[in-house]
Structure 1
Amino acid sequence: MEHISSVINAADSFVWGPWLLLPLLLGTGLFLTFRLSGIQFRYFGKAMSLAFGRRSRQSGEKGEISSYQAMSTALGATVGTGNIVGVALSIHMGGPGSLFWMWVTALVGMASKYSECFLGVRFRTRDKKGELTGGPQVYLIRGIPNRFGWLLSVTFAACAVVATFGVGNMTQSNAIAANLDNTFSVAPWVTAVVIGVMTLIALLGGIKSISKITVFCVPLMIGLYVFGGLYIIAVNYESLPHAIALIFGNALTPHGAGGGLVGSLLMTIQIGVSRSLFSNESGMGTASIPSSIAQTSHPVRQGLVSMTQTFVDTLVVISITGFVIITTGVWEKDDPDVMTSHAFATGLPGNWGGIVVTICLVLLGYSTVLGWAYYGERCIERLGGGTFGITTYRAVFAVACGMGAVAPLTLVWKFSDVMNGIMAIPNLIGLLILSGFVVRETRRYLRHDPSFDATTEEIDRFMGSDPGALDAQIDHQVDLSSDHPALEAVEEPGDPQGPEGPDKVRAGTPGH
């Protein structure tokens, strides 16, 4: 066990070290923010309106679930134990300054989330059963139709399947069991049986069943959690200036983790960035999987809707968790596993604090489990697993979820970080390669429909392409079930008859 632990720790240090994922993750977010002219800031109001405002479905929109259901499913998969237990662990290990780096990662990550969900819709296709499917495992090979695109696609899918058992499964059920035991004295084995059975039942209903559960759980629990957190912050308003000073002050002069100033600073940044990615998944590509089957008239609209997930997850929920922990003073003395629960118990009257946190963690953690299970199914399909493979995955996933409730998970959190990081690498590389295409088609759409009131038919006309014909052309050249995709040239989608005329590119360079 000690050898396994040392290997996982070494892998974690390498993947999340200063020379690999940290610069790649932050650099990609900054690069996309610059190339998209700060789209997450310029169109933030419109994105929130599209995500949460009331709008009727337009004629011609295609998709399996509504845009709001897709957003809720992805948000349900992101808002979970990472926002409750993960924030406490981040502050415990990296100090209050780690919260600052979570904010930075989220702000630039909104551009990454926009881009990957844009690509998810733009390159979505239909599986053998005729259902829409998409995500990095699809757009990496359809957008980069050569052997390198195939390698990125398969690498993402393989890592995602493994990661689902960590970030989206055992860590969630373990945190749920620990809090139920601490608050209501529910034996972990009871939680294990119940959550395992409920997970299997929900998965048998597919994405439509999952989306119905998340649409109910996510808004209710986020609202309850946010309301309780704001109440505690208001009650402890005198400690708020000190909390803000700690966060910004420790961001560059961190709260003492060993190894000197440079080592401590690096740890604070590393923990903040990795916890942010663990929570909001910006740059991982997973949110584009449910987004790709959303009913939407254009990828730009769904991209804007999807990037609000990062804002809600990190700039709202995580911020409230962090301020509650710091203003109540529990961050320096409590076990991170129950730190948030104790902070709410300290701030809310009676026993309501622990109850609120536990209920929210149970429902949000469960929605995370269901969302990640769907991610895993889509990636199993990409790796060649048919009905038998998906059914087997569902059964194993449900059993693992139950086991997570009773198993010691000291190494699982580290293992989850490693797999998250490895999974993000092919997606981030793909985002950089395809960035030119994302920018070009985004600008064209915004130039013709700045008020976002064009119908689906009008959008098809001014974008100047036939998505159906384009999909047929790409599918002819890229067989998702084959290990040897074609290498011929492919006409780049999005601007086939632009100002410079037909835009032809060689396979593997659609982003240039």
Structure 2
Amino acid sequence: MLLSLFLCVKGKEEILNFFSKNNLLGGINMNFQQIFVSIDNFIWGPPLLILLVGTGVYLSFRLKFLQIFRLPLALKFAFKKDKDDNNCEGDVSSFAALCTALSATIGTGNIVGVATAIKLGGPGALFWMWMAAFFGMATKYAEGLLAVKYREVDENGQMSGGPMYYIKNGLGHKPYSMFLAKSFSFFGIGVALFGIGTFPQVNAIVESTNIVFNIPIIMTAAIITTLVALVTLGGIKSISRVAEFCVPFMAIVYIIGCLAVLIVNYTAVPAAFSFIITSAFTPTAATGGFLGSTMILAMRMGVARGVFSNESGLGSAPIASAAAKTKDPAKQGLIAMTGTFIDTIVVCTMTGLVLTLTGAWSSDLSGAAMTNYAFTEGLNIIGQYIVTIGLMFFAFTTILGWNYYGERCTEFLFGIKGILPYKLIFIVLVASGAFLELELIWTIADIVNGLMAIPNLIALISLSGVVVFETKKYFNELEQSNMLKSSKVVEVN
């Protein structure tokens, strides 16, 4: 904590000079980076990638590819208010729960994460993001369903749910159930404090505002920290109110900006799609500032960044789904599923196409700077403002969403007495996130993401029978209800 406060007070250059003068840098930073990269490569090796995608494939078959045939119904539920839900248990509306989940997913993963994936894995990485998202929709459906089915009410009267609860209540008193539940909560706090929730988001915001608006890093960090403190201390209702406004507004603005670039360069769009698909199955040759990549690297980067972006299988979104006012677990599962569709199939695709057809992917730039360059090429100076402002809002709401996820994990492990200390630590880490190097940030985020996903995926596979049963039950009831309504219409006529 003292180090975090030190980072807040000192400027970035001054901090680096301090360490250099005292010979504290040397090879230590490089050694730490190499250690974390080795750990990251081990965790995100073939076993976890197979487990992540394999769980989605397995659930897709068991649910008869519900993500295709039930997507129109899911989108209808997501954007049409159901008055009956107002009388159900829960803290916020289903739409607010979806926006809270989207606030945590639509963030740097859609702008910086896509750029990072394509920079390292080539345009083919976007195809593997699509594949991860397609099967991830079935995973997200199962997560949302189980979250509502096994949720509880905490001592403050708030809904608590998510993987730790469907592991504890769904798997029963099996020897490993509480170990998995506590492991998930522990790693969930780690992701909130040291992964998606803080460092990558803050770093992306301060980098973009510094490049585009020339705002000092320390000033941006101070503003972000103050706003985060004001909103998060109000709990889920405060967070969901901000998310309900910011997420739809900025998603629409960003998508319009992307469409403008695609329309201006419409003749290059078919070639960009073709290049993305062919690059997914063949090595991508070095060009410009791009060093070339293999199919395996494209697949790894696409899946890893896809999970970072839409969080399917990670177990975070069901924590928000559990707060929804609804009585039907399967209905909330459908609504939760649309989050992955919107996040990756829509928003990430827009970013990836812009990066590919403008040629920004092969430049010497990376991260937010690459995406800024792509939009500037497509829309001149207006483009970089769209990216920067979009990134600011997306990343800020992601911080808010993950603050709530970490809070629920803290409550599970330590009770409500642990919530305030957690929030204070979170705020301090938000303040210090602006002064860390980008490569190390992404590596740490990848590591804790992978560790968080493992207990959740084990639970999803173990409880897949419950998911199938609840799904059949819900659609049978829905069909009977529709038949009853139809018969009443006929009688009236």
* Superposition TM-score, scaled by structure 2 size: 0.88
More helix by share: 2
Q: How does 1:152-231 map to 2 (within 5 A)?
A: 152-165=180-193, 166-231=195-260
Q: Work out the CA distance in 2 between the residues paired with 1:317 and 1:263.
A: 24
- Note closer, same or farther for the CA distance 1:189–1:452 as it changes in structure 2 (3 Å cut): farther
Matched, 1:284 2:314: yes
Q: Work out the CA distance in 2 between the residues paired with 1:136 and 1:179.
A: 34
> Is the contact made by 2:285 and 2:293 (CA closer than 8 Å) also made in structure 1?
no
Shift of 1:441: 1.6
Q: How does 1:434-473 map to 2 (within 5 A)?
A: 434-450=463-479
Shift of 1:241: 1.9
In terms of mean alpha carbon deviation, does 339-348 or 306-315 score higher? 339-348
Report the count of equivalent residues.
449
1:62 equivalent among 64, 76, 89: 89
Q: Work out the CA distance in 2 between the residues paired with 1:247 and 1:139.
A: 38
Aligned twin of 2:428: 399
Matched, 1:345 2:376: yes
Matched, 1:148 2:179: no
Matched, 1:317 2:317: no
Aligned twin of 1:29: 56
> Is the contact made by 2:85 and 2:93 (CA closer than 8 Å) also made in structure 1?
no
Secondary structure of residue in 1 paired with 2:452: helix
- Note closer, same or farther for the CA distance 1:111–1:223 as it changes in structure 2 (3 Å cut): same
Aligned twin of 2:112: 85
Q: Work out the CA distance in 1 between the residues paired with 2:105 and 2:56.
A: 18
Secondary structure of residue in 1 paired with 2:392: helix
Q: Work out the CA distance in 1 between the residues paired with 2:407 and 2:483.
A: 35
Aligned twin of 2:121: 94
Counterpart amino acid of 2:433? G
> Is the contact made by 1:60 and 1:297 (CA closer than 8 Å) also made in structure 2?
no
Aligned twin of 1:331: 361
Shift of 1:60: 3.8
Instruction: Report the aligned-residue RMSD.
Output: 1.8
Aligned twin of 2:36: 8
Q: Work out the CA distance in 1 between the residues paired with 2:404 and 2:148.
A: 17
Query: Which consecutive residues of structure 1, in runs of 5 or more, have no partner in the other structure?
Result: 456-512
Q: Work out the CA distance in 1 between the residues paired with 2:307 and 2:60.
A: 17
Q: Work out the CA distance in 1 between the residues paired with 2:383 and 2:165.
A: 43
Shift of 1:406: 2.5
> Is the contact made by 1:177 and 1:406 (CA closer than 8 Å) also made in structure 2?
no
> Is the contact made by 2:129 and 2:302 (CA closer than 8 Å) also made in structure 1?
yes
- Note closer, same or farther for the CA distance 1:148–1:359 as it changes in structure 2 (3 Å cut): same
Q: Work out the CA distance in 1 between the residues paired with 2:256 and 2:483.
A: 37
Aligned twin of 1:296: 326
Counterpart amino acid of 2:223? V
Aligned twin of 1:471: none
Q: Work out the CA distance in 2 between the residues paired with 1:59 and 1:360.
A: 32
Shift of 1:263: 8.0
Shift of 1:452: 7.0
> What are the superposed Cα offsets for residues 50-82 of structure 1, whole Å, 9 maximum, x if unpaired?
001243244642210000000000001000000
Q: Percent identity?
A: 42
> What are the superposed Cα offsets for residues 397-454 of structure 1, whole Å, 9 maximum, x if unpaired?
1111111122223211011101101100110010000001110121111112138769
Q: Work out the CA distance in 1 between the residues paired with 2:456 and 2:364.
A: 37
Q: Work out the CA distance in 1 between the residues paired with 2:85 and 2:78.
A: 15
> Is the contact made by 1:192 and 1:406 (CA closer than 8 Å) also made in structure 2?
no
Q: Work out the CA distance in 1 between the residues paired with 2:480 and 2:59.
A: 23
Counterpart amino acid of 2:100? T
Aligned twin of 1:507: none
Q: Work out the CA distance in 1 between the residues paired with 2:402 and 2:481.
A: 31
Q: Work out the CA distance in 2 between the residues paired with 1:169 and 1:97.
A: 28
Counterpart amino acid of 1:26? V
> What are the superposed Cα offsets for residues 168-220 of structure 1, whole Å, 9 maximum, x if unpaired?
11110000000001111111100111111111111110000000000010000
- Note closer, same or farther for the CA distance 1:59–1:93 as it changes in structure 2 (3 Å cut): closer
Secondary structure of residue in 2 paired with 1:359: helix
> Is the contact made by 1:191 and 1:402 (CA closer than 8 Å) also made in structure 2?
no
> Is the contact made by 2:185 and 2:410 (CA closer than 8 Å) also made in structure 1?
yes
Secondary structure of residue in 1 paired with 2:196: helix
